[in-house]
Structure 1
């Protein structure tokens, strides 16, 4: 089995629907910490807050500047990709309903020398707040801790 990077692991988990326990258990045995959740809003601040809260509550990050800073920048990078460069939702009558994954661990599977990194992937629907007027979008952010 080929070694995967942290981004590919986060993408795979975000795109997998249903039970992810086997995948999660495999990568957790390889020194990754993984969380998958959902968020939806017309306010990007609420999506950022949902991800930050999950990362803190699940003990993926600790309360210190370096970890919180890496998390924040990986979220903003992922949100920028998800929103295609302009992090605006409600201001332009656009809503988002998404699945997010948080993965913390080595940059490349099995490579402990690379230190700790954090990857955020957002995948879901974005578009007009009317049903049937949305489409898929994805964004990813990766930062060293």
Structure 2
């Protein structure tokens, strides 16, 4: 049970998110990995979660009728939001708003194929008071097994 250092799922999600010219889609296809990207802005944590889950469902990264897959992406999203919000996933209730880009990657980062798939969610964007210009950058990453 060792990670394949040439295919780290969290690093892949972050690079996919941050680098417009990163040649990741080709390498993902070779590995049989799936991915999607999107944007969300809100003062509501539920809206952020729903945006990522919806994108993952539409791109067939998860099967919503399988609880383990829905559960895995939910926990990856919450973990990534923890990074963005510095450990307190409240947004609007404490007068904060986010403007985020996200990337979701699904694949097996292990040398042994029997380890199964994992899912990574990466966020990058801004968080701050709901006043234009009073926000700052933030990033978060969440990884969970399926």
Per the TM superposition, whether the score is higher than 0.5 is yes
Kindly report which structure 2 residues correspond to 1:120-131, keeping only aligned pairs within 5 A, or say none: 120-131=121-132
Shift, 1:113, TM fit:
3.5
State how far apart, in whole Å, the 1-side matches of 2:70 and 2:46 are. 16
RMSD, matched Cα? 1.4
Structure 2: how far apart are the matches of 1:124 and 1:94?
13
From 11, 16, 22, give the equivalent of 1:13.
16
SS in 2 for 1:68: helix
In the aligned structure 2, how far is the partner of 1:90 from the partner of 1:107? Answer: 35
Instruction: Calculate the TM-score normalised by the size of structure 2.
Output: 0.90
2 CA distance for matches of 1:15 and 1:113? 30
* Equivalent residue number for residue 40 of structure 1: 41
How many residues are aligned here?
A: 141
Q: Deviations over 1:36-83 (max 9, x none)?
A: 110110001000000011111111001211101101111111111111
Report the Cα offset of residue 84 of structure 1: 0.5
Q: Given the two structures, how large is their TM-score scaled by the length of structure 1?
A: 0.91
CA shift, 1:111, in A, is 4.8
Partner of 1:29: helix, strand, or coil? helix
98, 101, 105: which one aligns with 2:100:
98
Does 2:31 correspond to 1:27? no
In structure 2, runs of 5+ residues without a counterpart are none
Give the ranges of 4+ consecutive aligned residues of structure 1 lying more than 2 Å apart after TM superposition: 110-114
Query: Of the candidates 2, 7, 20, which is equivalent to residue 4 of structure 1?
Result: 7
Whole-Å separation in 2 of the counterparts to 1:57 and 1:124: 23
CA apart distance, 1:144: 0.6
Contact 1:75 1:120 in 2 (8 A): yes
Give the secondary-structure state (helix, strand or coil) at the position aligned to 1:26: helix
SS in 2 for 1:71: helix
| DSSP-derived class of the 2:25 partner | helix
